[in-house]
Amino acid sequence: TIPSTTTLSDLEDYYVWYNYMNADKTVEIVNYMKEEVEGGRQIFYPIYSEEEMRENPDKRNTGLFFFRGNPDSKFAIVNAGWCSVQPITEITVEDYDKAFNLDVRAVVDLTTRALPMIMETKGNIINLSSVGATHPAANLSMYTGAKAAIENFTRVWALELALKGVELMRLLQEQ
């Protein structure tokens, strides 16, 4: 519980990620994923090549989940992120690679691969952002840096794709 006397400058001590989770919805999603896999449909797509995963087996489970919508419906992409909570004095290049590969590279890769379907359906791209992109908190430089990149990609892609009938949006997650 955050005391009522807490000021804005004190909030970084209470960095809250998720404050509400619906257990029924979580079970529903997990069961859906299980049914898709049991039905032989691929829902997980690695973001690393086979060569990269052979060189570093930790990369094997890093990727994106993709769920098909209804036929002839608009197409959308929603992406999330990962965060290393540590000060710059402890960050390694490997931490940078992990954050930017998942939070940025994965978004670019998925977007460019799905773009033909998105343009064909005049669909939408929805990128998840964070207030951390413009209001960073201590010990979150990798996450806020990656989200700032997504913020700017979303703005640029919106300009590039508007005349093709594709709308880009961003959902801002509060910290």
State in Å, rounded, how far the first CA of the chain is from the last one.
15
Cα of 159 vs its chain's centroid, Å: 21
Q: Tens digits of per-residue pLDDT, 138-166?
A: 888 998 898 889 889 988 998 998 888 88
Q: Tens digits of per-residue pLDDT, 86-128?
A: 899 999 999 898 888 888 888 888 888 788 888 888 878 877 7
By the 8 A CB rule, do 138 and 87 touch?
Answer: yes
- 87/85 Cα distance (integer angstroms): 7
142 φ/ψ sector (left φ>0, alpha ψ -120 to 50, else beta)? alpha
Q: Which residues lie closer than 8 Å to 137 by C-beta, 6 or more apart? A: 11, 12, 15, 144, 175
Catalytic residues: 129-130, 143, 147
Q: pTM higher than 0.85, yes or no?
A: no
For residue 150, the one-letter residue type is I
Q: Tens digits of per-residue pLDDT, 4-50?
A: 665 545 544 444 344 445 667 767 777 888 888 899 988 877 777 89
- 108/62 Cα distance (integer angstroms): 15
Q: Tens digits of per-residue pLDDT, 40-81?
A: 988 877 777 899 889 988 777 766 666 666 666 666 666 666
